[in-house]
Amino acid sequence: MSFSKEQQKIALTLFVVALVAATMLAFVDKLTQAPIAEAQRATLHKNIKQVLPAHANDPIRDMFVYPVSADENLQVFLAKDKQGDVIAYAWEQVAPDGYSGSIRILMGMYVSGEVVAIRVTDHRETPGLGDWITKDMKWLDSFVGKTLANAQWLVKKDGGDFDQFTGATITPRAVVKAVHQGLLFYKNSQADLLKRAYAPPAKQAVEGGK
C-alpha cells in the first residue's frame, strides 16, 4: 500500500506536532516538579506540626520507614525535645471503609500511648456531611488525650464515646476505627519503634529496607 505525497506530508506534520507537544509536556512537567514537591512538603509540615507537641527537631528530617508487612511501610515522624529524647510520633492511618472511599488520617502519639491529635489529610466524603471530619475541630479534639484504656472506641450510636454526624454515621465510624487501630499498632510496636527512633540513620535505612 503506497501513500501519496499529500498523505505523507500530513503524516509528517502530525508527527512533528506530536513530537513538539510531547517535548513541551515533558519540559513543563520537569519545570513544575520542584514547586509541587515544595508545596507538598509545606503541607505535610503544617499537618505534622498540628498533630505533634512542641518539639526541638525537624520531624520530617528525622522520619524513618517502619515495615508493617511485606507489602506496606509506614513513614514515622519523630518529635524530640531539646535533649534529643523522643517525646512523640506521627504517622498516617488509612480508613478503607469511608462512605465514599478511603480516608487518610495523620495521627500524633505521645510515647506514653496518648493521642496528641489527629488530622484528616485526604478523603472523598460527601460535602456538607462526611467532610465535617476536616472542619469540626471540637470533634477532632475529642481524640486528644485518648488511650486504649480511657475510651470506648466506637461512635455513640454504637455505644462508644465519639459523636457521629447527623446523616453521616459511616464516616466518623471509619475514622474512630482507624485511630483505634493506630493505637493497637502502637501498643504492639512500641518497643521496636523506640529502638528504631534512636538507631543511627544508616541503620534505620537498612532495617527499613528489610
Q: What range does the domain containing 128 cover?
A: 52-208
22 within domain boundaries? no
**Nearest one of 89, 123, 103, 38 to 191, comparing CA atoms:** 89
Q: What is the pLDDT of residue 201?
A: 62
188 within domain boundaries? yes
Whole-model pTM: value is 0.75
Q: What is the pLDDT of residue 43?
A: 67
**Nearest one of 113, 129, 128 to 164, comparing CA atoms:** 129
Q: What is the pLDDT of residue 31?
A: 60
- Which set of grid coordinates corresponds to residue 69? 508487612
38 within domain boundaries? no
pLDDT tens per residue across all 210 residues of the chain: 565 677 667 777 877 777 777 777 776 666 655 554 455 455 677 889 899 999 999 999 999 999 888 888 899 999 999 999 999 999 999 999 887 888 899 999 999 999 999 999 988 777 766 677 888 899 999 999 999 999 999 999 999 999 988 777 888 999 999 999 999 999 999 999 999 998 876 555 445 544
**Nearest one of 165, 178, 73, 161 to 121, comparing CA atoms:** 178
45 within domain boundaries? no
Q: How far is CA 180 from the centre of its chain?
A: 16
Q: Quote the number of domains for the chain.
A: 1
The answer to whether 53 and 116 have CB atoms below 8 angstroms apart is: yes
- Which set of grid coordinates corresponds to residue 206? 537498612
Q: How far apart are the first and last CA of the chain?
A: 57
